Structure formats: C-alpha cells, structure tokens
C-alpha cells in the first residue's frame, strides 16, 4: 500500500529523509525542464536505489512520489519499467493511475499480465488496469489472478466490471471445469467473482408506475 509524503517523513530517519528531499527536488527539477531529459536523469537513478536508502518497506511509496513529482511521461515510465527489477516494475504499475497518461501505458499492464509474477499481476489489476483494460483483456486478467492465486480482492472495481458479465461467467465455468477434470482445486475466489456476474434482479415497479 502506498503511503503519503507526510507519512514517510514520520517514518524515515534523518539520513533517509534528507535523501528523499534531494530525490524529490531532482524530480521536480526534471518536471520543470522536460526538454532537458537526457534519457538518464538523476531522479531515475534515485528511483532504482530507493529501497537501499529508504528501506524496502517504503520503496514503492518513494518511487511513486518520484514519478508523480517528475510528472513522468510515457517514455520515462516505459524506460523504468523495461529496465527495472520486479520491485521497480511493480512501483511503476502501482502509480500509473496517478500520472497523466490516459491509456497510453496499457502495454505495461498487458506485459505484467503475461508474467507469472504475482506481485506484478496484482499491481496490474489495480486502478489503472481496471480503468483501461477492455472487456476481453479484463476478463483474462481475472482468470490470470485465479490461475496465479492472486486474491481476487486485488482486482480494482471488481463488482462494477464483473456485474452481469455473462461471458465472464462462461469463462469462469470453463476454468472451473478444467481444474476439476484435472483433479485440481478450484480457487475459492472463483465463486466470489461468479456470484458478481449474476444479472441484477429486475426491479419491481413502483406504485406510481403501476397506476399508469
């Protein structure tokens, strides 16, 4: 879970807090001078070393703040994702919805969903993925979570996107049948999602409507 700058300041010791101040200043400078991007700006080096300086438990939050402060565009987030470790890629995915990217970073989500790294899969189905994956892609993201045992609670807007989705219900039924035929357990989360796909019950007419 990402935490705020104030929460980080409360938790970081003096040296780590000073490092973060310097890193965010470099990111802000990059945002103010976008034409000066050499392809290896200082704040991106800070992005990679966040865990070493601020602790692994705070690395996602520090990296998210750097991306936001730098107003990172598609070129930067793609570079950081493609060149980064799994932890760095996760931080990029977790921050996409807080950047002004529209749907342009969707290929990064799609790449993460092709892996079997549960950290990346869980991050890929967060707010950005929920907002920009089309129906086909989102249904397969649901199945990916079930296949890799990522809790379905990681799926942002699950109730909204699964509601009344008959095709998703069919795919879930096929997945469950395949698992059962292979003698493998059906993930508990499948029933949770399947229940959400049920059509909404018809609303009874009001007394006013009945009188018309």
pLDDT at position 199 is 82
Return the closest-CA partner of residue 101 out of 143, 131, 56.
131
Q: Is the pLDDT of residue 176 over 60?
A: yes
The CA-CA-CA angle for residues 47, 153, 123, to 5°, reads: 20
- CB atoms < 10 A from the CB of 72, how many? 29
Return the closest-CA partner of residue 86 out of 106, 64, 116.
116
Distances (CA, A) of 200 to 58, 162, 163, 208: 42, 11, 8, 22
pLDDT tens column, 6-28: 999 999 999 999 999 999 999 99
pTM of the shown model? 0.91
- Residue 40: pLDDT band by 50, 70, 90 thresholds? confident
pLDDT tens column, 58-109: 999 999 999 999 999 999 999 999 999 999 999 999 999 999 999 999 999 9
Q: Is the pLDDT of residue 202 over 90?
A: no
pLDDT at position 1 is 86
Q: Is the pLDDT of residue 195 over 60?
A: yes
């Amino acid at each position: 879970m990402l935490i705020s700058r104030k929460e980080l300041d409360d938790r970081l010791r003096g040296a780590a807090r000073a490092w973060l101040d310097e890193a965010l200043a470099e990111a802000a400078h990059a945002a103010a001078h976008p034409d000066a991007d050499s392809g290896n700006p200082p704040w991106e080096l800070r992005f990679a070393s966040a865990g070493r300086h601020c602790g692994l438990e705070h690395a996602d939050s520090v990296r998210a703040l750097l991306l936001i402060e730098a107003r990172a565009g598609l070129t930067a987030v793609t570079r950081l994702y493609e060149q980064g470790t799994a932890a760095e890629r996760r931080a990029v995915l977790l921050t996409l919805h807080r950047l002004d990217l529209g749907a342009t970073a969707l290929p990064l989500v799609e790449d993460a969903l092709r892996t079997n790294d549960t950290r990346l899969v869980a991050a890929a189905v967060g707010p950005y993925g929920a907002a920009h994956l089309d129906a086909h892609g989102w249904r397969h993201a649901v199945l990916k979570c079930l296949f890799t045992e990522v809790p379905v609670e990681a799926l942002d807007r699950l109730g909204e996107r699964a509601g009344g989705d008959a095709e998703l219900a069919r795919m879930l039924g096929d997945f469950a049948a395949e698992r059962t035929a292979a003698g493998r357990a059906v993930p508990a989360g499948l029933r949770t999602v399947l229940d959400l796909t049920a059509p909404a019950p018809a609303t009874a007419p009001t007394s006013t409507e009945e009188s018309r």
